[in-house]
Structure 1
Amino acid sequence: MKILLISSFLPYPLLSGGNIRLYNILKYLQKNHEVVLVCEKRSYQKEADIKRVEEVCSRVITVPRKKQWSVSNILKTAFSKSPFLLVGHESSEIKKIVSKLLEEEKFDLIHVETFYVMHNLPKTNLPVVLVEHNIEYLIYERFARNAFPILRPFLMIDVAKLKREEEKAWDRASALVAVSKKEKELMGRDNVEVVPNGADVDKFKLKNYKKGLNKKILFIGDFKYIQNQDSARWIIRNIWPLISANNKNVTLWIVGKNAVDRVGSYKREGIVLEDNPTSKTEDIFQQADILLAPIRVGGGTSLKILEAMASGLPVVTTLLGNEGIGAKDSEEIIVAEEPWEFSNKITDILWNEGRIKEIGKNARVFIEKNYKWEKITEKLNDVYERVVK
């Protein structure tokens, strides 16, 4: 098939979950399809990044991403029916490029990555597959409800506009792709298919545990995202005091872009923040003893959890964190809900070498069976086949 793929981001470098997902899917799609990618490019992304994406696409056309937080965007949001997220991704240039491609070339289908670039797509008779990484309005709603009281009414108005536009995009699509069963249920439509995230089992090698008196509990993520800020602050306030009181020689290692800026003010003894790690993610997992991932908002299948499991790094998460993954509690993953549960379960395995190795090996086998990117891409290909019939 010849596929026109419109995305809100250029999927390289592999610094975020969205980039990792799309890049790996493109890598396997190219084996059977011709993919033309039209996407926004951030200012820090260079020609070398475009070339890396060209290795997994037939063609890549980029448009500079406009500044999100501008006076004009804020005013347009305030005095129009459009929510802030859509205003920030509205692009007349992308509209022109897409219209020209559809006029001059024959495509079998259009794949749209994230709903908020859907309005850059002109009317078309081609089947459209819309991939949703999150249900955006639910994430923004949680943020709005926890904002300063004076801002809350204005933010909730924007959430209402966002919900309306997101649901309009769903209605326009021939098929919808969610990353978990939970999100499929929340979308409440018959044409939703689940294509979860995956892990690169060649890149993420099974961890080689070494005995040591010092232990590292890792939390990793990009802290521009509200979900990661929420989880990190909750760990620092509620879980870490219990762990540090009961364990000596343990460090809470918080790693990720913007970590110092977004959660640095919450730092306390025994916590190390690193927002520009020189090590690759796969090497960071080798240095840690446990991944702590108390996902409390959003859904889907967390890439960091899948990649840690592929590395044989035991993961301690919430019911929500495991919901889209489906690993066996206490065998392939550790599930906890309350702070005291996290503390107790982490302490139970942290110093038990046999137990920690067993969970890590089981996790690796689970990922190899269920979450290799090649298998994930086959599921997306099945969606393509159905909509073009």
Structure 2
Amino acid sequence: QLHEFCTGITIVPPPIRRIQDRLRDLALTSQPDMGRRFWSNAMVAALRNLLAEKSFDAVHAESLEMATYLPLIHEWYPNLPLIYGSLNAEADLQRTMFSTDRRNLRRLIGAVYSWVQWRRLTRFEGHICDIAAHVLAVSEPDRALLQKLSSTPVTVVENGIDTAPYVQLPRNQALGEHAIVFTGTMDYRPNVDAVMWFAEAILPAIVAQFPNVRFYVVGQRPHARLDPLRETLHIVITGAVPEIAPYLQGAQVYIAPLRMGSGTRFKLLEAMAAGCGVVSTDIGAQGLGVQSGNEMLIADAPADFANCVKNLLADESRRKEMGAAARQFVQTHFDWSVIVPRLLWV
């Protein structure tokens, strides 16, 4: 599909990075983990050849993992404009992970890791922003955080989706009368934390009122931390699925119980476009500009979150009303037809 939009595509295999490599870099370098994740000599060679063969107006690196090559390009071609497209304010993301995990002794190693990465990413992310001619952020909170790191202009260009396939999805009860759904890559730490927190601190109160409730955790590569949940009657961990659409169609309530993160969530945009009734934390809804009670319900305390879910499960007309408002909101603010002109302006 990319060939429809690109005059040329060069494919470089992703590097194999073992846990030993990560531990070595952690101990022997000052680089953040993200800065090494996709680093490879093959990519360096491909970039050098491509830049030597052709003349470019600018180089756009999407995500901090790929922006790790921008300092090298800046060294080769100091006058070539560089654009950094951020997906998160990564240093602040690690700060929120540290803040959450340090309160749990079982997550002490994760907290220490995030503290180290937070410090390293603050320097690294700031340097990337410094050498860029322009930086893109996906939300106003991210823009403000990135602007603190550098004087380089930062412009908000939100995440977008093609809403058409989602707005055509009819609602159903294929997953059960009281189906709760969460979607995402399930080895991603904020997603794992969200599912564990919901399952342990929130779901029991919902089960007490709705004994037939089912919580569907949908996404590839489920982390080992989720394995104990497989034995729970009310939880279904699907692993990778061919399509996400059936789970959005069957969700009586879609949840985003995120306690870590930055940026904006594609998962929420998809659920809203599909007309789901949504309950989220403040962090989950960050950057969307929604109003609690209009396009979704927002709660941070476990009891409040549980009550929001129970209220939507019990009130079909409220779910439909909120789902329709959410769908209209995403079509108006986050459809690609709205987002692309902002990117072209930059």
Distance between the aligned counterparts of 2:209 and 2:56, measured in 1?
61
Question: Which residue number corresponds to residue 166 of structure 2?
Answer: 204
Does the aligned pair in 2 maintain the 1:206–1:310 contact within 8 Å?
no
Distance between the aligned counterparts of 2:313 and 2:144, measured in 1?
36
Question: Which residue number corresponds to residue 239 of structure 2?
Answer: 275
Question: Which residue number corresponds to residue 266 of structure 1?
Answer: 229
Give a deviation string over 1:74-100, Cα, whole Å, max 9, x none. Answer: 324422232333233222222222222
Does the aligned pair in 2 maintain the 1:209–1:357 contact within 8 Å?
no
State the 1:210 CA deviation. Answer: 4.7
Say whether residues 1:74 and 2:38 are aligned partners: no
Say whether residues 1:173 and 2:127 are aligned partners: no
- For 1:75, the aligned partner's letter is R
Question: Which residue number corresponds to residue 61 of structure 2?
Answer: 112
State the 1:360 CA deviation. Answer: 0.9
- For 1:138, the aligned partner's letter is D
111, 131, 134: which one aligns with 2:88:
134
Q: How many residues align?
A: 331
Distance between the aligned counterparts of 2:237 and 2:19, measured in 1?
30
Does the aligned pair in 2 maintain the 1:207–1:313 contact within 8 Å?
no
TM-score by length of 2: 0.88
After superposition, residues 1-389 of structure 1 pair within 5 angstroms as: 52-121=1-70, 122-123=73-74, 124=77, 125-143=79-97, 146=101, 149=108, 156-187=115-146, 188=148, 189=150, 191-210=153-172, 214-259=177-222, 261-267=224-230, 268-278=232-242, 280-383=243-346
Does the aligned pair in 2 maintain the 1:86–1:116 contact within 8 Å?
yes
Cα 1:263–1:371 shift into 2, 3 Å: same
Structure 2, gaps ≥5 residues long:
none
CA RMSD in angstroms, aligned pairs only: 2.3
Does the aligned pair in 1 maintain the 2:253–2:312 contact within 8 Å?
no
Distance between the aligned counterparts of 1:119 and 1:260, measured in 2?
27
- For 2:57, the aligned partner's letter is D
Cα 1:229–1:361 shift into 2, 3 Å: same
Cα 1:199–1:76 shift into 2, 3 Å: closer
Which protein is richer in strand relative to its size? Answer: 1
Once the two structures are overlaid, the 10-residue window that deviates more, 58-67 or 82-91, is 82-91
State the 1:357 CA deviation. Answer: 0.9
Q: Kindly report structure 1 stretches of 4+ aligned residues shifted beyond 6 Å.
A: none
Does the aligned pair in 1 maintain the 2:272–2:330 contact within 8 Å?
yes
Cα 1:105–1:300 shift into 2, 3 Å: same
TM-score by length of 1: 0.78
Cα 1:275–1:141 shift into 2, 3 Å: same
Does the aligned pair in 1 maintain the 2:98–2:115 contact within 8 Å?
yes
- For 2:8, the aligned partner's letter is R
Distance between the aligned counterparts of 1:362 and 1:143, measured in 2?
32
Distance between the aligned counterparts of 2:111 and 2:325, measured in 1?
45
Structure 1, gaps ≥5 residues long:
1-51, 384-389
